[in-house]
Amino acid sequence: MFPVQILSTILIPFVAAFCFFHSPASGPNPLPILTCFIVIPNLAAFLIMASPEKWTRWISLFTASLELGIAFRVFTLYQTATGGFQLVEQVSWLNNLGIQYLVGVDGMSTLMVLLVACVYFAGTLISWSISMRVKEYFVLFSLLVGGVAGAYTSMDLFFFFLFYEFAVLPMYLLVGIWGSGRKEYAAMKLTLMLLAGSAFMLVGFLAMYFTSHVHTFDIRVLGDLSQTGFNQNFQDFWFPLLFLGFGVISAVFPFHTWSPDGYGSAPTAASMLHAGVLKSLGGYSILRVALPALPQGARHWLPLLVFLTIINILYAAMVALKQKDFKYVIAYSSVSHCGAILFGICTLQVAGLNGAVIQTLSHGIVAAMTFALVGTVYGKAHTRELAKLGGLGAAMPVLGGLFVAAAMANVGLPGLSGFVGEFLIFLGSYRSGFHGGFDVFQVLFPTAVLAIVLTAIYYLRLVQIVFYGPVKDPHIKAEAKDGTFIEILPIAFLLAVSLAVGLYPKPFVDLSNAAMAPLIDHIGGFK
Amino acid sequence: MIQHSWLIPGMPALAYAVIVLFTRRFKALSAGISILAMAACFFLSMGVFQELAKLDPSARTVSFSWTWLQIPPWEAHVGVLIDPLCANMLLVVTLVSLLVQIYSWGYMHDDERFSVYFSYLSLFSASMLLLVVANNYLQIFIGWELVGLCSYLLIGFWYFKPEAADACKKAFVVNRIGDMGFLMGVITIGMMFQTFDFAEVQKIVTQGLSDHTYSTTFIAGIALLLFCGAVGKSAQFPLHVWLPDAMEGPTPVSALIHAATMVAAGVYMVARTYTLFSADPLSMTVVAWVGGFTALFAATIAVAQDDIKRILAYSTLSQLGYMILSLGAGGYTAGMFHLTTHACFKALLFLGSGSVIHGLHNQDIWKMGGLWRKMKVTTLTFAVATLAIAGIPPFAGFFSKDAILDSVHNSAVPGHCVLYYMGVFTAFLTAFYMFRLFFVVFTGEPRDHHAHDHAHESPLNMTGPLVVLALLSLCVGWLNWPGVGLYSQFVHYGSVPEGAASIGVLLGQSWPTLLLVVAGIALSAAFYYWKVFSAEKMAEKFRPVYLLLKNKYYFDEMYGWLVKKVLFGLASIFHWFDEKIVDDGMVDGTGWINQKMGGLLSLTQTGYIQNYAWVIFAAVAVIFFCVSF
């Protein structure tokens, strides 16, 4: 009976939301689709507060499925042939300050909307086993999603910043209250470092706002100003600051240490949502704001900043080799993969940028899947210490098999999403290095390819330690059981998404290229 | 038929999905689906082959593709390329897969994870066939990585055995090292020539070489990058270490993946991209020498091994070395022909050893002996395979090995004379160690009576494939019968290679090699059948050499040291740096400084009105001072 209830709570709202909205070409939608996407999780938060506790999970699942339906609708509604921002909704807000509520999606944010919905959906199911302060947990969780949903669809920098801050604060409480280990320390560290990053971001936004004589936060207008509005000195000064500010969010070296501690302590769904969605906001913002507005600064600085990102890729992979905690390995792997995203951006080449976008999507899905697996295994084995784990494959064949799949997705095996992103990034870096882009890539291209070996080493080591070999701890053997339906479902769902991207990447790359090709033309990047 | 050839990788892929999603709980059904899909693939491949053979020799290339992803103006495709090379490989892969799957039904019958096993086999066949039908560099790389995954899963099939868990990791990582080069090569091709398509790259390279747009050294560089992948997958020196360890997997897997098909993918890839390799003598020389060295190097190790499967594994290394050597020396047809014959007799050897292991539950040859009394079919078929690999006419190995040695002899590669004698000496060693294995296992008196009493012939679904493969090991060589040369006319690069005019001429030119091979067999018989000499005394007398060979030249120890000390040492340094300097130092340090600064500043907040009054007074005084001067 239980799976039937779950499946109907998923399918009914999903199909309803998908069918409710139609193409703007055939008349206006009864409700603005993107605003619905932002408002529904926030609304759910209030609904959960007002209803009895036994409804909490079901409301949350219902909302997540609604969001998934909307996201798939957005995905199908976006016309790659037309390109540009679509489904735009605009409301004047503070006109004399140039602030307006302006949401819309281009190809890149369409993918991000899909990512947010997928991770939200999977995270809700994974949180089913939460038993402490259930209502508060799901309220914060929904608010967090509302924040990121807004950040990925805002075209106005003011609202972008606002939504981002909305997302960070629930994260602090989620880690601090429902976390494990040194949770207070981790929560504080994560929040402070992210806020420091956003301080850079805010100052950068304000500098752009005041320097441009138009006084606007509309990113389309700021992008157009890059040629006339911002002079070389301004761009050279502000680009690295913005890059590092956004970089902190994506855990760029040396501002990455919040990530392992934060993810190590966060509850499973919070790690999933943070690694999958919030962390990607760094790379996304560079592509969305920093590159279009400050292209000359980018050309000047990227050949230097790229060294930080290559450190991310290789150094984090090396550090991951020596971790003693299951979840820390995944956290460092996430740092390494985010490095690859930023590395792709630094190529300033069209394939590299597309690779960065696809890698963002892929890393989001795959990191969420891996964290979900770690959390589920932890819930059964009651320890994350690698020294105590071992031979779990016999007790948990399905979870073990899924973990191997997740490891392979991280390793960049063709057929799963990781390969597409990585491959495009490598293509971009080769092209940038050898065809009139940044010469540094002649050295960095082969260096970055080393990552495919290092990643394989630490992931397979992890698979071996945790799932292979004989069982080390008899207590674990007695208690460990394979995943239940509700645990397997979200992981299998994320795996299916990763497979879809990996097996037939064309629709996804078409979407990202609909945003990246004009961007490259606009900023004079490399082809 | 040819237009439906995309179904060849498609059907096993579907079988995999069906088994994983639906029929995991039903053993027989899963195996049935898997075998049925493979049988359909085999018949489809036969159909493709027939249709291709009917075409005019110049028109024997059919290719079609679909867009996989695009970033205009650049596109990547998945597609199918059917030509003689591909058709040859399709037949080999589908036939051996089919036989191994039937055999596995018997061999794995008692295993709990029977369905999982068959799902992996299906996934492997799908990936391997995807690689074989690839019409572009990206797709061959995709198939390449996927067979690597299947190899990982199947080596680690008994994951609870620590040796298997180690071996599968090692196989994957070592292959990845090679793939790093391969990937760089593929990317270079894609970005230089703006296409991944084999035919188009061939056109561009040929054009570019003739009008000097590209230097031959540049093309050789790309070819060598691709060759890194082949060195990994085909387990050539120095990336050979994973293959012997891969024997931890179930024996049918060793037969299929680590003998007949996947490890031959490296050879196939070199043949597939032969335009790049043959552009410059440099790449050909490297390929030939790597292959020739591996052939000899692995054969010497095989002489001193005790595990039946490991002996066969080193023999596989050695035979793969032959194929690579042949391609490097310009013997395109000979290399591919040896791949084909080797697939038959090596699969047979492994399946035969599986039959022995199935009967005895042991892999140490010194615990076997006299098995021919108990296992007649296995012994007979194993004997056929041993004769074939040793290169005794009229068995298959004779024809292909002789073609290789002939092409090395006539090659233009620097040092081809040395390579030729290395090849001949390897043939001698091969005959010696293979007959050593045969005599010790099947003849003489049983060494372990307890095990011998329980030994039994395997069931029909295991001996059936053995008999089929034995027939093939006998007959496949005749495809290239001197003077007729059906195979040479079908699979060739450029013009059809000239073989010997008749069987008499062939025997006339190959008698020195044959003599050495017979000498090898005789020597082996003297040691292990007649026991005229004692092997133990020889080992005692040349102890350092024996130890060196038995320990495989200590390569595992060396690589183990590199990983443990160098890689993990570096990782420790990074880890220390991350924990102490970055985290404790910079991050927590910033927090600490802020706290202390706050502490210092908080000293000013005394709460005494007098103190504040003093500060105000002082400030006013300073301002007054500044303003007035």
- For residue range A297-340, what is the model confidence (pLDDT) as tens digits? 898 899 999 999 999 999 999 999 988 899 999 999 999 999 99
CA distance A98 to chain B (A): 36
- Give the pLDDT mean for B606-627: 88
Condensed to tens digits (0 to 9), the pLDDT of residues A261-274 reads 888 888 998 899 99
A145 touches chain B (CB under 8 A): no
Region A415-434 average pLDDT: 93
Asked if pLDDT for residue A480 goes beyond 80, the answer is: no
Burial of B509 (0-12, 13-18, 19+ CB in 10 A): middle
Q: What is the DSSP letter of B497?
A: P
DSSP code, position A154: B
Nearest to B183 among A393, A452, A510 (CB): A452
Q: How far apart are CA A355 and CA A346, in angstroms?
A: 11
| DSSP letter assigned to residue B579 | I
Using CA atoms, how far residue A130 sits from A379, A408, B532, in Å, is 11, 29, 76
Residue for token digits 């990121």?
A148
Q: Which amino acid is at B133?
A: V
SS3 category, B63: strand
Among B24, B187, B194, B559, pick the best mutation site for testing chain A contact (most A Cβ within 10 A).
Answer: B187
Half-sphere exposure of A371 (CA within 13 A, CB side): 33
Question: Within an 8 Å CB–CB cutoff, is residue A486 touching chain B?
Answer: no
For chain A, positions 397-426, list CB contacts with chain B under 8 A: 397, 404, 408, 413-415, 419-420, 423-424, 426
Structure tokens at B261: 């098909």
| Per-residue confidence band for A478, with pLDDT thresholds at 50, 70 and 90 | low
- H or E element: which one contains B71? strand B62-71
A509:B173 CB<8 A: no
A14, A20, A21, A22 alpha-carbon torsion, rounded to 10°? 120
Of A71, A43, A74, the C-alpha closest to A59 is A43
CB-based contact A275:A367 (threshold 8 Å): yes
The answer to whether the CB of A288 falls within 8 A of the CB of A222 is no
- Rounded to whole angstroms, what are the CA distances from B317 to A337, B101, B290, B436, B453? 36, 23, 12, 18, 34
A357-388 burial, b if ≥16 CB within 10 A, otherwise e?
bbbbbbbbbbbbbbbbbbbbbbebbeebebee
- Listing DSSP states for B20-31 in one string gives HHT-TT-HHHHH
Tokens of B278: 């043959």
User: Does residue A38 surpass a pLDDT of 80?
Assistant: yes
C-alpha separations of B30 from B35, B121, B156, B188, B234 in Å: 9, 11, 20, 42, 30
Is the model more confident about B164 or about B57? B164
Query: How much is the mean pLDDT over chain A?
Result: 90
**In this complex, which of B68, B180, B183 lies closest to A505 when CB atoms are compared?**
B68
Q: Is residue A88 over pLDDT 60?
A: yes
The string of DSSP codes covering B528-582 is HTS-SS-HHHHHHHTHHHHHHHHTGGGHHHHHHHIIIIIIHHHHHHHHHIIIIII
Cα(B249)–Cα(B265) distance, rounded to whole angstroms? 19
Q: What is the pLDDT of residue B522?
A: 93
Task: Give Dmax over CA atoms of chain A in angstroms.
Answer: 70
DSSP code for B478: G
**Closest B-chain CA to A315:** B574
- Quickly state the pLDDT bin for A220 (edges 50, 70, 90): confident
pLDDT in tens, B338-394: 999 999 999 999 999 999 988 888 888 888 888 888 888 999 999 999 999 998 888
For CA atoms A445, A448, A450, A452, the dihedral sign is negative
Q: Which site among A402, A413, A467, A511 would you substitute to test the B interface, given the most B Cβ atoms closer than 10 Å to its Cβ?
A: A413
How far is CA B460 from its chain centroid? Answer: 30
Q: Which of A7, A109, A107, A21 is nearest to A69 (CA)?
A: A21
Compute how many other C-beta atoms are within 10 angstroms of the C-beta atom of residue B503: 14
Phi, psi values for residue B69, rounded to 5°: -155, 155
Say how far apart CA B125 and CA B36 lie, in whole Å: 13
Q: Closest Cα partner for A505 from A279, A354, A347?
A: A354
In angstroms, rounded to a whole number, what is the distance separating the alpha carbons of residues B152 and B97? 17
B169·A460 Cβ contact <8 A: yes
How far apart (Å, rounded) are the C-alpha atoms in residues B412 and B379?
A: 42
User: Is the CB of B587 less than 8 angstroms away from the CB of A354?
Assistant: no
Instruction: Please tell me the distance from the alpha carbon of residue B343 to that of residue B495, in angstroms, as a whole number.
Output: 25
Residues of chain A with pLDDT > 90, as a percent, come to 54
The answer to whether the beta carbons of residues A353 and A341 sit under 8 Å apart is: no
Distance from the B64 Cα atom to the nearest Cα atom in chain A, whole angstroms: 17
| Residue A203 DSSP code | H
Two tokens at A433?
A: 């290095």
DSSP β-bridge partners for residue A86? A105
ipTM over 0.90? The verdict is yes
Phi, psi of B44 (to 5 degrees): -65, -40
pLDDT classification of A510: cutoffs 50, 70, 90:
very high
Q: How far apart are CA B352 and CA B359, in angstroms?
A: 11
**B444 within 8 A of B370, measured Cβ to Cβ:** yes
Q: What is the pLDDT of residue A337?
A: 94
**Alpha carbon A76 to chain centroid distance?**
21
**The residue count for chain A:** 527
Question: Which of A323, A404, A469 lies nearest to residue B165, judging by beta carbons?
Answer: A469
Helix, coil or strand: residue B67 = strand
Q: Report chain B's mean pLDDT, rounded to a whole number.
A: 90
CB A399 within 8 A of CB A407: no
DSSP reduced 3-state for A253: coil
Cα B76 to Cα A428, B134, B196, B324: the distances in Å are 14, 12, 7, 29
Chain A, chain B: beta-carbon pairs less than 8 Å apart: 130
pLDDT band at A226 (very low <50, low <70, confident <90, very high): low
Burial of B437 (0-12, 13-18, 19+ CB in 10 A): buried
Write out pLDDT tens, residues B420-450.
Answer: 999 999 999 999 999 999 999 988 888 888 8
pLDDT, mean of residues B613-619: 90
CA geometry: angle A174, A177, A182, nearest 5 deg: 100
Q: Chain centroid to CA A49: how far?
A: 27
Query: Residues A179, A267: contact at Cβ < 8 Å?
Result: yes
Would you tell me how many other CB atoms lie within 10 Å of the CB of residue B209? 17
Per-residue pLDDT, averaged over A211-227, amounts to: 80
Dihedral of CA atoms B109, B115, B120, B125 in degrees, nearest 10, equals 80
Identify from A318, A424, A432, A461 which residue to disrupt to test chain B contact, counting B C-beta atoms within 10 A and taking the largest count: A318
Q: What pLDDT shows up at residue B92?
A: 94
Q: Which of the pair, A474 or A363, is modelled with greater confidence?
A: A363
| Secondary structure of residue B445 in the 3-state scheme | coil
The DSSP element (H or E) to which A496 belongs, if any, is helix A485-503
List C-alpha distances in Å: B388 to A188, B50, B218, B265, B321.
71, 27, 40, 22, 17
A457 interfacial to chain B (CB closer than 8 Å): yes
CA–CA dist B95, B86 (Å, integer): 14
Average the pLDDT over A130-154 and give the result.
92
> What is the C-alpha separation between A383 and B221, in angstroms, rounded?
50
- Given a cut of 70, whether residue A1 has pLDDT beyond it is no
Rounded to an integer, what distance in angstroms lies between the CA atom of residue B408 and that of residue B417?
8
Percent of chain B whose pLDDT exceeds 70: 100
- Whole-number Å distance between alpha carbons of B244 and B126: 24
Helices assigned H by DSSP within B256-331: 265-272, 274-277, 281-302, 308-328
The tokens for A481 are 């059981």
Give the position of tokens 């697939």. Answer: B343
Is-contact B84 B60, C-beta < 8 A? Answer: yes
Contact (CB, 8 A) for B68 and B78: yes
Using the Cα atoms of residue A255, residue A169, residue A281 and residue B183 in order, give the sign of their dihedral: positive
pLDDT of residue A227: 66
Mean pLDDT calculated for residue range B17-28:
91
Please compute the mean of the pLDDT values over residues A153-175 and round it to a whole number. 91
Q: Verify whether the Cβ–Cβ distance B69 to A449 is below 8 Å.
A: no
Residue A364's pLDDT band (boundaries 50, 70, 90)?
A: very high
Longest dimension (CA), chain B: 121
Q: With the C-alpha atoms ordered A12, A17, A19, A20, is the resulting torsion angle positive or negative?
A: positive
| Pairwise CB contact (< 8 Å): A351 & B71 | yes
Q: How confident is the model at residue B585, as a pLDDT?
A: 84
